[in-house]
Chains A and B, each alone.
Chain A
Amino acid sequence: MGLLEVKDVGKRFGGLQALSNVNLSVQENTVHAIIGPNGAGKSTLLNCLIGKLIPDTGSVTFQGQSVLGKKPHEINQLGISRIFQTPEIFGDLTVLENVLIPCFAKRDGSFRLHAFETVEAEKDLNEKALAMLEDVNMQDKLHMQASSLSRGDKRRLEMAMSLVQDPKLLLLDEPTAGMARADTNSTIDLLKEIKEKRDITMAIIEHDMHVVFSLAERITVLAQGTPLVEDTPDNIRDHPKVREAYLGETQQT
């Protein structure tokens, strides 16, 4: 049984059947990519996984526990961390504070009225945040305001914010959308590095074939709201159905 199990999920928006009979199983310690052309239902599926949408039929379970109808913070507390298309960080705060917040969230749960301690006095968490920032090579930018970072650094910071919570599953929503090739490659390297350093399960929703084939160990191809095929990257590359639905056009470029 996989870490994340999607069973018979269907979702309809008015007259549009966005998802139908989606079955998917993300195994522990694998990088699982979900690809598909525009309008295939990737984003709808992701929104079902993170509790933003509730599917009409089927179930989504994480470690045997249903995530449907759960609020974003509850899903995070289960151990699912999400990386966004555009880096989502706390722009007004410093880099260190950005990483401290997930540390507090991990230790104290979704709410605690800790108004009489000082942030500086939390030695353990400060050390943890520092170690994490060293891991992503940002230790010299601790006190910079996060909004003044370069885009690449914002992405690294966002990763650090997710990883410092030791999530069981990292959900990446088109992590390289709109990036230049160089930035895309550095994101791939960052993700590979993360994968090598720790046992982590990743589910990547992605458009860019280059990213998918560089990282993924399993690939599910989604077309018109339903999974076409699920296999290893090598098999996917040569799969006639996939070529027809999706790859034919991109491989020529």
Chain B
Amino acid sequence: MLGLNQRDTKFLIIVIALTVFTPILLQPFPTDSGLAQFNAGYPDLMQRFAIFGIFAIGFNILFGLTGYLSFGHAAFLGVGSYSTVWMFKLLNYNVLPGLVLAIIVSGLFALLIGFVSLRRSGIYFSILTLAFAQMSFNLAYSVLTPITNGETGLQVYNDDPQILMGENGITTTHFFGFKMNSSWIMDLGPWQFTFNFGYYFCAVIAILAFYLSLRIFRSPFGLMLRAVKSNQQRMNYTGVSSRPYTLAAFVISGMYAGLAGGLLASMDPLAGAERMQWTASGEVVLMTILGGAGTMMGPVLGAGFIKYFENIFSKINDQVLHGWFAFLPDGLENALVWLLHPFVGKGWHLTLGLLFMLVVVFLPGGLVELGQRIRNMFRKKPDANDDSNHKPQQSPHVAE
């Protein structure tokens, strides 16, 4: 179906199902229970899951397939956001022109940066992309203020042209009249589920992005990209010019990032320079590696994992901790809170950092590898005579 083989089709259907039921799956705890704060099924966060999923899927096309580690992908995210907000300012709040422009502009921007950066590989490539991204960030912050509105960030003002707005135009972002912030809330016993249009809009685009990336992974083009990662010199002596291949991968992943940036602005019509900062570029690298670089599902999982931590763990403060351990004697309670304090709330980065280290050391294949190991554990008992080290190894399927 859709040019995919049976196995990939099944895989895609699972992904679609998970995406559709996200508002339910991420809301496992009843609203008034003590665990409700671990629920992640609210629109803002779900939108972020989908958007950063797209960002990471795109990044993975470059890093996962070709092995070129870009440390400046946030620049494209920022360019996408600015483009979209400009469309809001000039036309109206319909997100479609903005998203199209975001993809085009970030693609052109990626072409320029990629053309220069891809003359080098390895660490030099990473540094070049980092330099370009920091340059973009600083330009957006200072010199380019007329375009980016500098420190304040770009936003829509009342005196903006908005030529397609009309008399009673919608004053919030929408897709042909369907408002991004409109939600339908369903109460089911103690549970409350929020079905938000903005989330589903992002989700549909994320599924399309995922499908496209799946096609790229399975295509001759994807095969060439994997060959670049494996042995670039051999590739050149095989009659293939590797530069245009890496450049194409760079531009495609830049366009994914631009789309993600455009969606961020579509959910909240703001664009600030900090979106282009190197920490944002580093974040997508973490997402991809944490989830499993070069796998289809990994980057999405990694994006979800990091965004969950950022939004949920950061909300746990001392007060919440005291609430949890109230049943303990006072001394013990205080000691436990003191012990956990650095890991939650503002310290969520510490927890994330530790988890990241554990994953990189023990699970080089990321969260996807964890999933595979658990699955293999249940599938069959290891055979005593199965000396797998001395058997020819089957190469792993790229989807896994």
> B5 interface residue, CB < 8 Å from A?
yes
Given the known A-B contacts A88-B231, A92-B229, A120-B5, are A77 and B239 also in contact in the complex, defined by CB atoms under 8 Å?
yes
> B3 interface residue, CB < 8 Å from A?
yes
> B349 interface residue, CB < 8 Å from A?
no
Given the known A-B contacts A94-B395, A120-B5, are A111 and B240 also in contact in the complex, defined by CB atoms under 8 Å?
yes
Inter-chain residue pair count (beta carbon < 8 A): 123
Given the known A-B contacts A89-B231, A93-B227, A118-B218, are A73 and B240 also in contact in the complex, defined by CB atoms under 8 Å?
yes
Give a binary string over A141-168; 1 marks a CB under 8 Å from any B CB, 0 the rest: 1011100110000000000010001000
- Give, as a whole number of angstroms, the nearest-CB distance from A161 to chain B: 7
- Give, as a whole number of angstroms, the nearest-CB distance from A169 to chain B: 13
> A104 interface residue, CB < 8 Å from B?
yes
- Give, as a whole number of angstroms, the nearest-CB distance from B7 to chain A: 11
- Give, as a whole number of angstroms, the nearest-CB distance from A223 to chain B: 28
> A214 interface residue, CB < 8 Å from B?
no
A110–B3 CB distance below 8 A: no
> A91 interface residue, CB < 8 Å from B?
yes
Residue with the greatest number of chain B CB neighbours at <10 A, chosen from A90, A113, A116, A149: A90
- Give, as a whole number of angstroms, the nearest-CB distance from B400 to chain A: 14
Question: Which residue of chain A is the closest to B216 with respect to CB atoms?
Answer: A115
Give a binary string over A93-129; 1 marks a CB under 8 Å from any B CB, 0 the rest: 1100100111011101111111111111110000000
A90–B394 CB distance below 8 A: no
B241–A73 CB distance below 8 A: yes
Interface residues of B in 1-46 (CB under 8 A from A): 3-5
Q: Which residue of the partner chain, among A97, A121, A148, A161, contacts B238 with CB atoms under 8 Å?
A: A161
Interface residues of B in 377-400 (CB under 8 A from A): 392-395
> A237 interface residue, CB < 8 Å from B?
no
> A72 interface residue, CB < 8 Å from B?
yes
> B120 interface residue, CB < 8 Å from A?
no
Given the known A-B contacts A92-B226, A101-B224, A114-B219, are A71 and B236 also in contact in the complex, defined by CB atoms under 8 Å?
yes
B395–A143 CB distance below 8 A: yes
> A82 interface residue, CB < 8 Å from B?
yes
> A220 interface residue, CB < 8 Å from B?
no
- Give, as a whole number of angstroms, the nearest-CB distance from A46 to chain B: 12
- Distance in angstroms between the alpha carbons of A108 and B241 in the assembled complex: 11
A72–B237 CB distance below 8 A: yes
- Distance in angstroms between the alpha carbons of A145 and B395 in the assembled complex: 5
Given the known A-B contacts A104-B220, A110-B241, A115-B221, are A90 and B5 also in contact in the complex, defined by CB atoms under 8 Å?
no
- Give, as a whole number of angstroms, the nearest-CB distance from B129 to chain A: 22
B230–A92 CB distance below 8 A: yes
> Which of chain A's residues have a CB closer than 8 A to the CB of B222?
115, 119
> Which of chain B's residues have a CB closer than 8 A to the CB of A119?
218-220, 222-223
> Which of chain A's residues have a CB closer than 8 A to the CB of B237?
50, 72-73, 76, 81-82, 84, 88
- Give, as a whole number of angstroms, the nearest-CB distance from B388 to chain A: 11
B223–A100 CB distance below 8 A: yes
B216–A145 CB distance below 8 A: no
Question: Which residue of chain B is the closest to A165 with respect to CB atoms?
Answer: B239
Q: How many residues of B contact A (CB 8 A)?
A: 33
> B245 interface residue, CB < 8 Å from A?
yes
Question: Which residue of chain A is the closest to B234 with respect to CB atoms?
Answer: A88
Question: Which residue of chain B is the closest to A144 with respect to CB atoms?
Answer: B392
Interface residues of chain A: helix, strand, loop or mixed (majority): loop
B394–A145 CB distance below 8 A: yes
> B376 interface residue, CB < 8 Å from A?
no
- Distance in angstroms between the alpha carbons of A116 and B215 in the assembled complex: 6
> Which of chain A's residues have a CB closer than 8 A to the CB of B4?
118
Question: Which residue of chain A is the closest to B225 with respect to CB atoms?
Answer: A115
Question: Which residue of chain A is the closest to B3 with respect to CB atoms?
Answer: A118
Question: Which residue of chain B is the closest to A108 with respect to CB atoms?
Answer: B220
Question: Which residue of chain B is the closest to A94 with respect to CB atoms?
Answer: B395
Question: Which residue of chain B is the closest to A171 with respect to CB atoms?
Answer: B237
- Give, as a whole number of angstroms, the nearest-CB distance from B246 to chain A: 11
A118–B219 CB distance below 8 A: yes
Interface residues of A in 50-91 (CB under 8 A from B): 50, 71-73, 76-77, 81-82, 84, 88-91
> Which of chain A's residues have a CB closer than 8 A to the CB of B215?
115-116, 118
Question: Which residue of chain A is the closest to B236 with respect to CB atoms?
Answer: A72
- Distance in angstroms between the alpha carbons of A151 and B131 in the assembled complex: 42
Residue with the greatest number of chain A CB neighbours at <10 A, chosen from B215, B226, B231: B231
> Which of chain A's residues have a CB closer than 8 A to the CB of B3?
116, 118, 121
- Give, as a whole number of angstroms, the nearest-CB distance from B216 to chain A: 5
> Which of chain B's residues have a CB closer than 8 A to the CB of A77?
239
> B352 interface residue, CB < 8 Å from A?
no
Question: Which residue of chain A is the closest to B229 with respect to CB atoms?
Answer: A92
B394–A143 CB distance below 8 A: yes
> B235 interface residue, CB < 8 Å from A?
yes
> Which of chain A's residues have a CB closer than 8 A to the CB of B223?
93, 97, 100-101, 104, 119
- Give, as a whole number of angstroms, the nearest-CB distance from A82 to chain B: 5
- Distance in angstroms between the alpha carbons of A144 and B394 in the assembled complex: 5
Question: Which residue of chain B is the closest to A150 with respect to CB atoms?
Answer: B392
Residue with the greatest number of chain B CB neighbours at <10 A, chosen from A73, A76, A144: A73
Question: Which residue of chain B is the closest to A76 with respect to CB atoms?
Answer: B239
> B244 interface residue, CB < 8 Å from A?
yes
Question: Which residue of chain A is the closest to B394 with respect to CB atoms?
Answer: A143
A113–B221 CB distance below 8 A: yes
Top 8 nearest A-B pairs (CB, nearest first) are A76-B239, A145-B395, A105-B239, A110-B241, A90-B230, A115-B221, A92-B230, A111-B244
11 A-B pairs with C-beta separation under 8 A:
A76-B236, A91-B231, A92-B226, A93-B223, A104-B223, A113-B221, A115-B216, A116-B3, A116-B215, A119-B222, A161-B238
Beyond A101-B223, A112-B220, list 18 extra A-B contacts (CB 8 Å): A72-B237, A73-B240, A76-B237, A81-B237, A88-B231, A88-B233, A92-B395, A93-B230, A100-B220, A101-B238, A102-B238, A114-B221, A115-B219, A118-B5, A119-B220, A144-B392, A144-B394, A144-B395
